[in-house]
Amino acid sequence: MKIGFIGLGNMGAPMAANLAKAGHSVTGFDVAGTTAKGVAQAPDIAGAARGMDVVITMLPNGAILRDVADAIIPQMRAGATLIDCSTVDVESARAVAEQAHAAGLLAVDAPVSGGIGGAAGGTLTFMAGGSANGFAAAEPLFEIMGQKAVHCGDAGAGQAAKICNNMILGATMIATCEAFALADKLGLDRQKMFDVASTSSGYSWSMNAYCPAPGVGPTSPADNDYLPGFAAELMLKDLGLSQQAAEAVDADTPMGARALELYRAFVEDEDGRGRDFSAMLPRFETRGRG
Ligand code: NAD
């Protein structure tokens, strides 16, 4: 396939390289001039869209996605597929899909989980929204870049799944960290706390697979001085998107709102920027109730 890839950053570059490695003809474009292994560089954004069977975008946010969509959709040939893998607001995802459909394109919103390691290793999970035809066109590429793809529903459903999942993740990570900090102050050994909670109703991905306490549970960023992993500022972004969506549809999400406040303070006013999102544990450790 002839694939255009727009946004060759931390995630996009290894994803594009994996498509090229699998034998596709990939042409990339990034405003920062970044490149990826095996990927031809387009001279301008139109060059990564014109004549392509598929164009994939992997961009920072919804406003940039909308600008890029304005630039590329008129260049794409009817019947081609636009796949956006960025994490953006549901409204932007739906607006771009509508614009693509009006131009005779297939459109899929397909945000990912799995981070930079998953992008490099081709083990991402894709959460996709769009028509059955759009998903069918995108699926062989998801298989190269990832290990699992779920068709969640119509346009925007992929983004909806992503932000709901990450709202659970943000809240459970905070709950897990504050429980460890309380256990410390109660004199409870962290390993014992893990042994109980990970096999009892305190079980969660945050506790069991990504334990925020160093030296306890499986190896996680806590064992690497809280280097990300999944950076606190990316969690802050996703919690912001989930609150934006909740406001738009009048959903009551008090835990998500509180998680957003805590990660905002952690990233903007404390030392959370550039640290893994599980570094909430040392944050709680050093605090009292005041
Ligand atoms: P990044 O900032 O490293 O990459 C984004 C790239 O887009 C940059 O290279 C930037 O120059 C480029 N870009 C910006 N505007 C552009 C334009 N108008 N035209 C062309 N290129 C443009 O970010 P990333 O970590 O690769 O993340 C990309 C997306 O994936 C984000 O939406 C993020 O939320 C999501 N995501 C990231 C992770 C992660 O662990 N990094 C995990 C899951 C999802």
Instruction: State the pLDDT at residue 138.
Output: 98
CA distance 202 to 230: 22
- Give the residue from 142, 131, 139, 84 showing the smallest Cα distance to 104: 131
- Residue-level pLDDT at 160: 98
User: Among candidates 24, 16, 21, 27, which has minimal Cα distance to 49?
Assistant: 27
Locate the ligand 1 atom nearest the alpha carbon of residue 87 and give its number. Answer: 32
- The DSSP bridge pattern shows strands 112-113 and 124-130 to be antiparallel
**CA–CA distance, 127 with 160 (Å, rounded to integer):** 9
In angstroms, what is the span from residue 249 Cα to ligand 1's centroid? 27
Q: What residues are paired with 151 via a beta bridge?
A: 128
Check: CB of residue 110 under 8 Å from CB of residue 126. Answer: yes
DSSP classification of residue 265:
I
Of the chain, the end-to-end C-alpha distance in Å amounts to 59
Which residues surround ligand 1 with Cβ inside 6 Å? 6-12, 29-32, 34, 45, 58-60, 64, 67-68, 86-87, 112-113, 115-116, 230, 234, 237
Shortest-distance Cα residue to atom 12 of ligand 1: 7
Q: Where are the alpha helices (DSSP H) in 149-189?
A: 157-185
C-alpha to C-alpha distance for 53 and 77, rounded to whole angstroms:
8
Q: State how far the Cα of 290 lies from the Cα of 270, in Å rounded to an integer.
A: 16
Round to whole Å and give the CA distance between 159 and 90: 6
Query: What confidence score (pLDDT) does residue 290 get?
Result: 82
Three-class secondary structure of residue 235 per DSSP: helix
* 222 residue type, one letter: A
pLDDT at 253: 98
Q: Which structure tokens are listed for 189?
A: 């050994």
Tokens of 49: 């869209």
pLDDT tens across the length of the chain (290 residues): 999 999 999 999 999 999 999 999 999 999 999 999 999 999 999 999 999 999 999 999 999 999 999 999 999 999 999 999 999 999 999 999 999 999 999 999 999 999 898 999 999 999 999 999 999 999 999 999 999 999 999 999 999 999 999 999 999 999 999 999 999 999 999 999 999 999 999 999 999 999 999 999 999 999 999 999 999 999 999 999 999 999 999 999 999 999 999 999 999 999 999 999 999 999 999 999 98
Q: What is the pLDDT of residue 215?
A: 98
